Amino acid sequence: MPITTHVAQALAAALEYPPEHAPGLGRSLTRPPSPALGDLAFPCFALAKQLRMAPPKIAADLAARIRPDALIARAVAAGPYVNLFLDRTAAARAILGPILADPARYGSRNIGGGQVIVLDFSAPNIAKPFHFGHLRSTNIGAGLARIFSFLGYRVVRKNYLGDWGTQFGFVIYAWQRWGDAAELQARAIEYLVELYVRAYRQSETDPTVREQARHLFLRLEQGDPDIAALWQQFRELSLAGFMKTYQRLDIAFDSYEGEAAVNHLVEGVIERFVRAGVAEESQGALVVQVSGVLGREIAPLMLRKSDGASTYAARDCAEAIDRWERHGFSANIYVVSRQEDHFAQLFAALTRLAAAEQWEAHWPATCENVSFGYVRGMSTRKGEAVWLEDVLDEARDRARRIREEKSAANPRAFPTLSAAELDHVSESVGQAALLYFDVSSRRLSDVTFDWDTVLQFEGNTGPYLQYSHARMCGIFRRAVAEGLAAGSGTPQAGPEPADEEWLLVLKLGEFPAAVAAACTEREPHEIAKFLHELASSFNAFYNKHTVIDPADPATSAARLTLVRATQVTLANGLKLLGIRPLETM
RNA sequence: GCGCCUGUAGCUCAACGGACAGAGCACCGGCCUUCUAAGCCGGGGGUUGCAGGUUCGAUUCCUGCCAGGCGCGCCA
């Protein structure tokens, strides 16, 4: 039983509440601002309203009524708070026991019960660069996918590629005009992007370019075999390039079907909107009014342009309906930035169709747009985009250089690595810097790309977490060398934990709540924040105490157990963020 | 003009309506003959954009300003 559950029950008993009130009380438990004040704190403000008594009075009464037991050492009132001190030895066993009993699953819980979540993320545009800005959707989405899955949901990862639209007209126009097969062969994506940018730039001074591009796309829509063959080739080349990046980052999707794959459904769906009386004609276009549903003035969702062509919004409608029919999701989440209006329109239009057609399952209400902040300094058209592959390469190279400097300065501390191991470490550390940077703030805050900020290796960074993990693994290596069990057993009753050990234990107990918060808030940052606090607690402990002391086997064993619990918790959290826990650095 | 988002330390960012607003970077001072110094300990640094309101209590909620970002039917 988690400590907080036990404490909540003790609080309920002291208040003479029935046991079913305990979970509610447990939710308001916090940590006091300073460890000297206590291990857990219960604020009495909510009770003050119910009991019509001053909070400090309630706190004093409550503190006096809480009976110390095996876990609760004492309760003291401090103003409007009841602060609880726990029995460190007993509490440490209660927290560490479950971690060591099933290390790989610590932090997980079956909240999802096998319900399906469709998660749409990454979704790069074919023939546009996969630049640093795309890392946000990819990383946040992949993180959420792992978190949902860890909590018992069945996750369908969709990479809804932007593989349809006028941009292909531009690329094909450029290809027909300047195309060079050797270049395409040599460096597919970069070359396609150059073609796109070149055509787009020319269209800014020469409007006929835009016309020709539109015409080419129209031919593609009409099934012109030559154009279709080019489209197919460009799509495959681009996807092959994206796949290299995904493999590098250990990310895989269940589907790479893009907009083109729902084209055959679009006309049928538009027809449904019309027949249901939801769509109407406006200025020659076919639209769905959504201001009423949303309760504010907003442009309608456009299904068909005045020239008769269907829109991406119509494709999104068709795609959503198709998702529901295929997966029957409990949530349909789009990890897409800066398109709040579009998704509001999309969900509202589906809501109107649901009402008109009297659907039994009101699934449009389960559709969500998980947005995130803007990456500044990264416009494709202005040519200032930084390719993700280049950032990954630079991160890896810097990581390698730093490792070489450090190992040269202190050769004894650094194990000799084979070339392959060094490659793996450099790559993993570089990725950690990038991936952690992305989740080191809440997703809605804007970020500015800056090499030196993004590629930090010290302080609150990914490499710091990996470094902490590697230190722990170093302790286990020494333990084995000394002939000790490397913290694998169940926690034994050892000496009472010292302050630094105790704070680490308490922090470990908070991991499941951090994972749950990351899930409900759709916010991987919750885990990043926790891991930094965890590593920080560990390093404070590590610096103050020696784990392995051959002269003191009891303390060594207790500390090895604590370090093992910390290492597996850190590893679980890092994996959720897509960062590789390293045994050595 | 309308909508969404954001204003917190020099910089990058935290803080379920709760105790004295916290971390990292940068700066200053300490700590490697002991398990990796990519680390630890200490220090200076703040009118939380401004003005009101709600209440026992507001960085957090509401209103109005100011500033920035993004978007606003035939690009996707």
For residue A169, count other CB atoms closer than 10 A to its CB.
24
Whether residue A323 lies inside any domain: the answer is no
From CA A152, how far away is CA A117, in angstroms rounded? 10
Instruction: Give tens-digit pLDDT for A510-521.
Output: 999 999 999 999
- Which pairing describes strands A116-120 and A331-335: parallel, antiparallel, or unpaired? parallel
- Does the residue A322 lie in any domain? no
Domain boundary among A220, A248, A276: A248
pLDDT of residue A297: 81
What pLDDT does A298 receive? 87
User: Do A64 and A188 fall within a single domain?
Assistant: no
Q: Are residues A29 and A171 located together in one domain of the fold?
A: no
Q: Does A455 map to a domain?
A: yes
Q: Which two tokens stand for residue A499?
A: 């302050």
Task: Please indicate, yes or no, whether residues A57 and A174 belong to a single structural domain of this protein.
Answer: no
Residue A500 maps to a domain: yes
Domain co-membership, A429 together with A567: yes
- CB neighbour list of residue A297: distance below 8 Å, 6 or more residues apart: A291
Calpha distance A279→A271 (Å, rounded): 9
Residues ≥6 apart with Cβ < 8 Å to A514: A107, A526, A527, A529, A530, A573
- Structure tokens given for A378: 């990264």
CA of residue A209 to C1' of nucleotide B2, angstroms: 33
Question: Per-residue confidence at A133, pLDDT binned at 50, 70, 90?
Answer: confident
Work out if A379's Cβ lies within 7 angstroms of strand B: no
**How far, in Å, is the CA of A451 from the C1' of nucleotide B27?**
22
Based on the domain organization, do A426 and A552 belong to the same domain?
Answer: yes
**Strand B–CB A486 distance below 7 A:** no
Are A425 and A558 found together in one domain? yes
A24 touches strand B (CB under 7 A): no
For chain A, the domain total comes to 3
Residues A37 and A172 in one domain: no
Domain ranges, residue A51: 3-86
Q: Which nucleotides of B are covered by protein (CB under 7 A)?
A: 2-7, 12-16, 18-20, 22-26, 32, 34-41, 56-57, 69-76
Last residue of a domain, one of A70, A86, A102: A86
Residue A182 shares a structural domain with residue A39 = no
Nucleic strand B contact set for A 174-213 (CB, < 7 Å): none
**Same-domain check for residues A81 and A190:** no
Residue A485 forms part of a structural domain? yes
Give the per-residue pLDDT at A553: 87
So what's the ipTM on this one? 0.96
Whether residue A432 is found in the same domain as residue A536: yes
A470, closest nucleotide (Cα–C1'): B36
pLDDT band at A377 (very low <50, low <70, confident <90, very high): low
Look at residue A157 and tell me if it is in a domain: no
Q: Which residue is nearest to nucleotide B22 (CA to C1')?
A: A33
- What's A53's domain CATH number? 3.30.1360.70
Is any atom of strand B within 7 angstroms of residue A401's beta carbon?
no
Could you say which residues 529-558 of protein chain A have a Cβ atom less than 7 A away from any atom in strand B?
Answer: 529, 532, 536, 539-540, 542-548
Please name the nucleotide lying closest to A441, CA to C1'.
B13
CA A214 to chain CA centroid, nearest Å: 38
Q: What is the pLDDT of residues A26-68, one digit of tens each?
A: 888 999 999 999 999 999 988 887 788 888 999 999 999 999 9
Picking from A199, A222, A248, the residue at the C-terminal end of a domain is A248
> Whose C1' is closest to the CA of A479: which nucleotide?
B35
Q: How far apart are CA A450 and CA A448, in angstroms?
A: 6
A188 and A74 share one domain: no
Please report, for the domain that includes residue A500, its CATH number.
1.10.730.10
What whole-number distance in Å separates Cα of residue A59 and Cα of residue A251?
A: 50
pLDDT in tens, A80-122: 999 999 999 999 999 999 999 999 999 999 999 999 999 999 9
A520 touches strand B (CB under 7 A): no
Tens digit of each residue's pLDDT (9 = 90 or more) over A467-500? 999 999 999 999 999 888 776 667 766 789 999 9
User: What distance in Å separates the CA atoms of residue A375 and residue A370, rounded to the nearest whole number?
Assistant: 16
Contact A543, A482 (CB under 8 A): no
Q: What is the mean pLDDT of residues A230-243?
A: 92
Whether residue A383 is contained in a domain is answered as no
Q: Are residues A404 and A550 in the same domain?
A: yes
Residue A490 lies in a domain: yes
CB atoms within 10 A of CB A167: 19
CA geometry: angle A143, A459, A516, nearest 5 deg: 30
Distance CA A164, CA A168 (A): 7
* DSSP code at position A259: G
